[in-house]
Amino acid sequence: ALQHCHIIPQAEPDLWTMLKQRHWIPEEAKDDPRHEPRDSLLMCPNHHHMFDGYGFFIRYHHDSGKFIFINYSGSRLLQEFHGKAVALNINDRYAPFPSIFIIHERRVRGFNPFQPITYDIPDTIPWQDWILSDGVFDEASKKFIRDRPPANNEAGLGGSQLQLQPTTSAGGGGNTLELNADVINSILAATRAMPSWKACPMEGTSWDGTAEENIQKYASVVGAQDSPPPSPTET
């Protein structure tokens, strides 16, 4: 069975608050990371254990818009997944914030101090083989095929689903995966432009005002360039 996995551990509320203060996540994100779906993934027990044990990290790749599995520990058990994209959709309103994967990545790097600082990745980032072979990704629409909508997060459940199945190893490298200030700033910029970032403050905002008040509130929350929400039934 799949298990609920937090990118930022639920036992670190102070770090969660700091991420809000530094604008790495929206200020309107849930106060407890356990209740924020964008801090969560679903993993099989083995990968959940190795994720929490800093055996691998997941990096958002801006050029491809994909989340890449990086076997930073060099584990033979994980090598078949290395360099391939996992089943996360950057356009999903509940997609994890790419910014918080940076925190986990830095911990993985620190936990494996003798591994290479940079990694080669393919020019074209392939999906994990099972994603295509199991027919869960539609190449025409570039969207994942889901049997049901994302789960409600009120009990701390939900978020986008990550499933890892055996694959062949990734091909030869063409680009270098680095972690520096420019890379971090690029990931932060991408995070703040994501639908999941824009959806987060919407969920924490009351729309009980008049139509005009709600339009102004909406413009303040997500930007005046977006369409306003439906008018309330009462003005």
Tell me what pLDDT residue 133 has: 74
Tracing tokens 């910029």 back to the chain, one arrives at 189
Q: Give the model confidence (pLDDT) of 8-44 as tens digits.
A: 998 899 999 999 999 999 999 999 999 999 999 989 9
Say if pTM beats, i.e. exceeds, 0.85: no
Q: Give the model confidence (pLDDT) of 115-159 as tens digits.
A: 999 888 888 898 887 787 777 776 666 677 766 444 333 223 233
Contacting residues for 182 by C-beta, under 8 A, at least 6 apart:
none
d(CA 90, CA 98): 9
Q: Please, which pLDDT band fits residue 232 given cuts at 50, 70 and 90?
A: very low
Q: Give the model confidence (pLDDT) of 71-123 as tens digits.
A: 999 999 999 899 999 999 889 999 999 999 999 999 999 999 999 998 888 88
d(CA 104, CA 193): 21
